[in-house]
Structure 1
Amino acid sequence: MENTDFLYRIKELEAAAKKLFLEYSIIEGKMANEFIQNTFNKFNPFKVVGHLSIGSDISEKLSTDEYEFTFSEKYLSGAVYIFFEQDYYNKNQIFVLKEGKLLSKLIQECYAMEYFITNDKNNYFISVNWYVIELLGVGSGPAGY
């Protein structure tokens, strides 16, 4: 039987959060679907499957190899909402990490992931794929929302 555990990214984040004693919650179902769709409608990302991408000319871009395990310390604060491509395994699920600055530490405990990040008010939008971290409306970039 094929091991499909890696397909359940929310479960992997949950296990890592427990290991690191981080506070988190999970939003699922209709509430998650509505939030994700509202986020996609607001920011209109270029790719929401495969190598996730915002694809904006005004987003700040960082190398994933160089910054994935440190960027959250600089760019995130408060609770963050993390979600993935909306395929069968990850559809309508949001992982909420209470302290966003700790996201990079959490991700270090997980197998390679591509994901989106925002907050409860959709003030910003971040995509992380294997190659680039795109930040829209965060930090010193020109894309304030």
Structure 2
Amino acid sequence: MYIINELKSNADKIGLNYSIIKGVEAEKLISKIFKKFDPLRTSGHLAISDNSKVISLEENEFTYTLAIKKQKGYLFFDQEGVDRNLVLEVENVQRVGELMEESFGIEYFLSNSDLSFLIAVNWYVIEVSGDCEDIEDLMNI
């Protein structure tokens, strides 16, 4: 099953407003974000860089997004997988943790509509790059 299908189903279940960006439009958006933040790994265990700020996954996996100001956001996934040219645009990034709590073992990138930050969530850690002052108190700086 495609990750995007699981997330759509779970977003419907929790009442999260979303839309799907696909094809060339999704490719351009992802490329723009990757050009700005130059992540270390865009497939496998997603990672931004050795210099990114870190948030404990164990303690914050489903709650860290509550610390981000309410805004539109983009979730996208392993860039070698079947969901590589798909973006889930959510109306409120604060609800991403709630969405992921309903989903199983998904690694993802998260950015906002201003593309001012990039977050990578993998099985081990949450990495943050860019301007995401809202969640700095959760980071191990």
TM-score in terms of structure 1 length: 0.88
User: Which residue pairs with 1:134 in the alignment?
Assistant: 127
Kindly report which structure 2 residues correspond to 1:99-110, keeping only aligned pairs within 5 A, or say none: 99-110=92-103
Secondary structure (helix, strand or coil) at the match of 1:87 reads coil
Instruction: Determine if the alignment matches structure 1 residue 25 to structure 2 residue 19.
Output: yes
Greater shift, 84-93 or 47-56, is seen at 84-93
Specify whether residues 78 and 115 from structure 1 end up closer, same or farther in structure 2 by C-alpha distance, changes over 3 A only.
same
Secondary structure (helix, strand or coil) at the match of 1:10 reads helix
Secondary structure (helix, strand or coil) at the match of 2:70 reads coil
Count of residue correspondences: 134
In 2, the alpha carbon distance for the partners of 1:125 and 1:47 equals 13
In 2, the alpha carbon distance for the partners of 1:22 and 1:74 equals 18
In 2, the alpha carbon distance for the partners of 1:113 and 1:76 equals 23
Q: Give 1:82's match in structure 2, choosing from 72, 75, 95.
A: 75
In 2, the alpha carbon distance for the partners of 1:51 and 1:75 equals 23
Instruction: Determine if the alignment matches structure 1 residue 44 to structure 2 residue 51.
Output: no
User: Which residue pairs with 1:71 in the alignment?
Assistant: 64
Secondary structure (helix, strand or coil) at the match of 2:103 reads coil
RMSD: 1.3
Q: Give 1:34's match in structure 2, choosing from 28, 38, 41.
A: 28
What is the CA distance between 1:21 and its match in structure 2? 1.1
In 2, the alpha carbon distance for the partners of 1:81 and 1:56 equals 23
Q: Give 1:116's match in structure 2, choosing from 109, 117, 124.
A: 109
Ranges of 4+ aligned residues in structure 1 off by more than 6 Å: none
In 2, the alpha carbon distance for the partners of 1:77 and 1:53 equals 24
Specify whether residues 56 and 50 from structure 1 end up closer, same or farther in structure 2 by C-alpha distance, changes over 3 A only.
same
User: Which residue pairs with 1:60 in the alignment?
Assistant: 53
| Percent pairwise identity | 36
Aligned partners of 2:71 and 2:113 also within 8 Å? no
Instruction: Determine if the alignment matches structure 1 residue 15 to structure 2 residue 5.
Output: no
In 2, the alpha carbon distance for the partners of 1:19 and 1:28 equals 22
In 2, the alpha carbon distance for the partners of 1:15 and 1:117 equals 19
Unaligned runs of 5+ in 1: none
When you count strand as a share of all residues, which structure comes out higher?
2
What is the CA distance between 1:88 and its match in structure 2? 4.2
Secondary structure (helix, strand or coil) at the match of 2:32 reads helix
In 2, the alpha carbon distance for the partners of 1:88 and 1:131 equals 19
